[in-house]
Amino acid sequence: MVLFVLAVSAHPDVTKLPGSNVLQGLVDGAQGWALTLALLGVFVGAAVWALATHSNNPHYAGKGKSAALVSAASALVIGAGPGLVNFFSSLGSHVR
């Protein structure tokens, strides 16, 4: 009995399918909106943090600080998203 091992390969190319430019536009737009909302979250969180600190309200000051820091961290992840996907895709292509 002879066993054949088939070699399978993939070469990602977004230009090979119709509508790829539309999909790329949607991704770019979604990233832009997400970064805008993260920036708004930083502004609102910092404002709540400042106002609560000046009014001696430690509970809301902590919530504002958390909102500002989580929004800043989310902007980091959103901005690094394409690089992270490319990194792990490259890393996965080396697995045999």
25-72 residue pLDDT tens: 999 999 999 999 999 999 999 999 999 999 999 999 999 999 999 999
Domain annotation covers residue 16: no
Integer Cα distance of 62 and 82 in angstroms: 32
Domain annotation covers residue 15: no
Whether the predicted pLDDT of 9 surpasses 90: no
pLDDT at 46 (0 to 100): 98
The mean per-residue pLDDT over the stretch 68-83 comes to 96
| CB-based contact 77:96 (threshold 8 Å) | no
Identity at 21, one-letter amino acid code: N
Exposed e or buried b per residue across 50-89, where buried means at least 16 C-beta atoms within 10 angstroms of its C-beta: eebeeeeeeeebeebbebbeebeebbeebeeeeeeeeeee
Domain annotation covers residue 40: yes
Mean pLDDT (the chain, rounded): 92
Specify the number of domains making up the chain.
1
Range of the domain at 38: 33-85
- Write down the pTM of the prediction: 0.79
Domain annotation covers residue 27: no
